[in-house]
């Protein structure tokens, strides 16, 4: 996870530079690992947890600080199944500590599961360079457009990169040497 203050009115490149599976000493790439790479953008000011276990089918969620949510927020709920559930807030009750929205939870989410504001949809990343251990001129790149939903002047955001693949039967431990967020005009991998 990286937290960066995004330059307002500037497209930025998000780079995942030379990611390596440490346990297998394997450079990660799309072709060999049947993988995808993307990133999501979150508002760190709206990052709460459930204060009650919510069953599948539930549309009212008990959260640690309902007052930070706003009607219309797209939030992501971490379910017990390990998947993420998109939920659009339609009502907020700070006194009761609840937010209401839709669609209903697909499955159970226990106490302590995260409920946080996601800004827009995931952004796909593309491979660049040739993956090789000991080299640094390869990785994955995606562009966070200045028009991305929810971006605003002075807002610091969390950028989380997701690499999904089948490395040696499963990704054991990912060592990301660096993730870089920079204006697109400064991004060599983008051209």
The beta strands (E) that lie in 55-136 are given as: 60-62, 74-78, 84-93, 98-102, 114-118, 123-124, 126-128
Q: Evaluate whether 64 touches 51 at the Cβ level (below 8 Å).
A: yes
List, for residues 126-147, the tens digit of each pLDDT value.
888 887 777 778 888 888 888 8
Of the candidates 57, 63, 49, which has an alpha carbon nearest to the alpha carbon of residue 92? 63
Strand partners, 60: 100
The alpha carbon of 64 is separated from its chain's Cα centroid by a whole number of angstroms, namely 21
pLDDT over 50 at 2, yes or no:
no
* Poorest-pLDDT segment among 55-69, 93-107, 116-130, 176-190: 176-190
Residue carrying structure tokens 């955001």:
157
pLDDT digits (tens, 9 = 90+) for 46-55: 999 999 999 9
- pLDDT, tens digit (0-9, with 9 covering 90-100), for 85-104: 999 999 999 999 999 999 99
């Amino acid at each position: 996870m990286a937290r960066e203050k995004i330059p307002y009115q500037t497209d930025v490149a998000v780079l995942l530079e030379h990611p390596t599976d440490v346990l297998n000493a394997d450079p990660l790439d799309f072709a060999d690992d049947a993988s995808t790479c993307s990133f999501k953008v979150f508002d760190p000011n709206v990052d709460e947890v459930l204060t009650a276990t919510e069953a599948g089918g539930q549309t009212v969620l008990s959260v640690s600080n309902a007052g930070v949510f706003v009607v219309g927020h797209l939030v992501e709920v971490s379910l017990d199944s390990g998947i993420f559930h998109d939920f659009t807030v339609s009502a907020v009750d700070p006194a009761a500590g609840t937010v209401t929205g839709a669609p209903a939870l697909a499955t159970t989410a226990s106490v302590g599961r995260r409920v946080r504001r996601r800004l827009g949809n995931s952004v796909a990343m593309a491979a660049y360079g040739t993956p090789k251990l000991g080299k640094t001129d390869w990785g994955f790149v995606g562009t966070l457009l200045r028009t991305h939903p929810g971006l605003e002047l002075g807002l610091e955001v969390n950028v989380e990169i997701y690499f999904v693949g089948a490395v040696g039967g499963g990704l054991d431990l990912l060592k990301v040497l660096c993730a870089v967020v920079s204006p697109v005009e400064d991004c060599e991998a983008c051209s």
